[in-house]
Amino acid sequence: MQTKTIIEPFKIKSVEPIRFTTKEEREKILKEAGFNPFLIHADDVLIDLLTDSGTSAMSSKQWAGIMDGDESYAGSRSFYRFEEAVNKITHMKYIIPTHQGRAAEKILFSIIGRSGKYFPNNTHFDTTRANIEFTGAEAVDLLNETGKHPEIRADFKGNMDVEKLATFIKEKGAENIPLCMITVTNNSGGGQPVSMQNIKETSEVCKKYNIPLFIDACRFAENAYFIKKREKGYTDKSLLEIAQEMFSYADGATMSAKKDGLANIGGFLAMNDTDLAMKCRNLLIVTEGFPTYGGLAGRDLEAIAQGLQEVLDEHYLQYRIRSVEYLGEKLVSAGVPIIEPPGGHAIYIDAKRFLPNIPSEKFPGQSIVCALYIEGGIRAVEIGSVMFGKYDKNGKLIPPPMELVRLAIPRRVYTQSHIDYVLEIILEVFKNRESLKGYKITYEAPMLRHFTARFEGI
């Protein structure tokens, strides 16, 4: 029989206590942190949904790998295990470890980016965009139209707008586009998956113009699971086969192993181009370390190698995707506006519809983030005008298309009762939404301001 309850596919061998605080304490803590949850001590957070990055619980086999790590400076056994694990999934020729995803981006774009160049993507994650813009090049988002509408339910809302991509290439000239990316799943657009068909079509357009296609592979396993469940012809394929097919359409990948590597740190660059790989390795030696450890300890490479194997387990992915979907279903049935259907790693509250009376200039997403912390000690993150807002020449805010609040679910960390608690708190905040106020920024850094900005209630 097919049971209704999908259980956590693991037993718990080691536990980490979480600290309870009172509402009064949390009000004080948040005020001291300038109403920016990035600036709160993690010990003051009860349920931390700030990110699914580097927050996974490792398995006993990964911890065993940590003990077994080979810390040789060059040619470490752990590197070869890591290389083999990445190669098994990507079939890429050159695999270059980095200390996390953005280090891979930094190396790649330092080599191929400069002013006058363009890098299209379905949606660039903020570090990818920042690394591109840092070189003077332009990062361009070409997400399909459906993906921009939180209320429309569709299977593959992370898809690239392939027609727009072709037009864009003709307009800017293929010689000005050193590389095209596709992010799976599309984090900044709601953790929405990209279909195999779309990866294939994107790759065909790129091939036609001789532009290499790189996958931002942070959440490749979650994307593979959605393909298996939603795309015709993939039901009977294994998740490994699906992942392999995804990578077969690409010329390279950047990866943060802090997500679907199930590790607490790490990442890599993978590619087939010999000349580019040589350049990347040379820069890696200057900035990260020798090419067989790239800023990581041998034990980290072991943890990633093992994590990459575990992440493609069907029971794990079923539980993973279902726990996010479960939270999403309950929120939708209570009328809370979220991006539908829920993506792979997070629930995204649609702050524009949650707080229609607070305009972008007063940061509705930040207002919800603050309320969730005060109400229940839950830490979430704003993905809207605080994170992506720009200013015009008169200093007026240019808001991004969506105002979102992300509740990212760490992998294998929380159980169903934690999720039920989160649900209860969100519903309480939603019930009292009329009493929420907007915020203004009192300090901001010139780049990636959301990490360090300070706010005041209006």
Q: Residue from 36, 62, 131, 187 that binds ligand F0G (CB under 6 A)?
A: 187
Contact status, residue 165 vs residue 106, Cβ threshold 8 Å: no
Figure out which of the listed residues 62, 121, 128, 366 binds ligand F0G, where binding follows CB under 6 A: 128
Q: List alpha helices for 12-112, DSSP H.
A: 23-32, 60-68, 77-90, 101-112
Span near ligand F0G by CB under 6 A; candidates 20-28, 32-40, 123-131, 201-209 = 123-131
How far apart are CB 188 and ligand F0G at their closest, in Å? Answer: 7
Radius of gyration of the chain from Cα atoms? 21
203 interacts with ligand F0G by CB under 6 A: no
* x/- track of binding to ligand F0G for residues 419-458 (CB under 6 A): ----------------------------------------
Site pattern 326..345 for ligand F0G (x: CB under 6 A): --------------------
How many residues sit in the footprint of ligand F0G (CB under 6 A)? 15
Q: % helix / strand / coil in the chain, to the nearest 5?
A: 45, 15, 40
Q: Please give the single-letter amino acid code of residue 263.
A: A
**Scanning residues 253 to 292, which ones bind ligand F0G (CB under 6 A)?**
256, 258, 267
Backbone angles phi, psi at 76, to 5 degrees: -60, 140
Interface pick for ligand F0G out of 53, 144, 202, 360 (rule CB under 6 A): 53
Q: Which is nearer to ligand F0G, 242 or 263 (CB)?
A: 263
Q: How far is the CB of 280 from ligand F0G (least distance, A)?
A: 16
- Residue 51 is a binding residue for ligand F0G (CB under 6 A): yes
Burial class (CB in 10 A: 0-12, 13-18, 19+), 132: buried
Sign of CA dihedral 237, 242, 245, 249: positive
Contacting residue, 127, 159, 202, 366, with ligand F0G by CB under 6 A: 127
Shortest distance (Å) from residue 187 CB to ligand F0G: 4
User: Which residues are CB-neighbours of 372 under 8 A, at least 6 positions away?
Assistant: 378, 379, 380, 405, 425, 426, 429
Residues 57-116 that bind ligand F0G (CB under 6 A): 100-102
Closest CA to 118 of 107, 109, 127, 105: 109
253 vs 92: CA distance, rounded Å: 9
Nearest residue to ligand F0G by CB is 101
Residue 244 near residue 91 (C-beta atoms within 8 A):
yes
Q: Does 129 bind ligand F0G (CB under 6 A)?
A: no
Smallest gap from Cβ 404 to ligand F0G, in A, equals 12
Question: Which of 183, 195, 198, 360 contacts ligand F0G by CB under 6 A?
Answer: 183
Q: Site mask, ligand F0G, residues 217-236, x = CB under 6 A?
A: -x------------------
CA-based angle 7:61:346, to the nearest 5? 45
178 prior amide bond cis, ω within 30: no
Q: How far is the CB of 204 from ligand F0G (least distance, A)?
A: 23
Q: Give the footprint of ligand F0G on residues 303-322 (CB under 6 A).
A: none
What sign does the CA torsion over 280, 283, 284, 285 have?
positive
Task: State which of positions 138-157 bind ligand F0G (CB under 6 A).
Answer: none
Per the structure block, which two tokens stand in for 324? 């996010």
Closest CA to 300 of 34, 56, 16, 51: 56
Part of the chain binding ligand F0G (CB under 6 A), chosen from 23-31, 120-128, 326-334, 368-376: 120-128
Tell me which residues touch ligand F0G (CB under 6 A): 51, 53, 100-102, 125, 127-128, 183, 187, 216, 218, 256, 258, 267
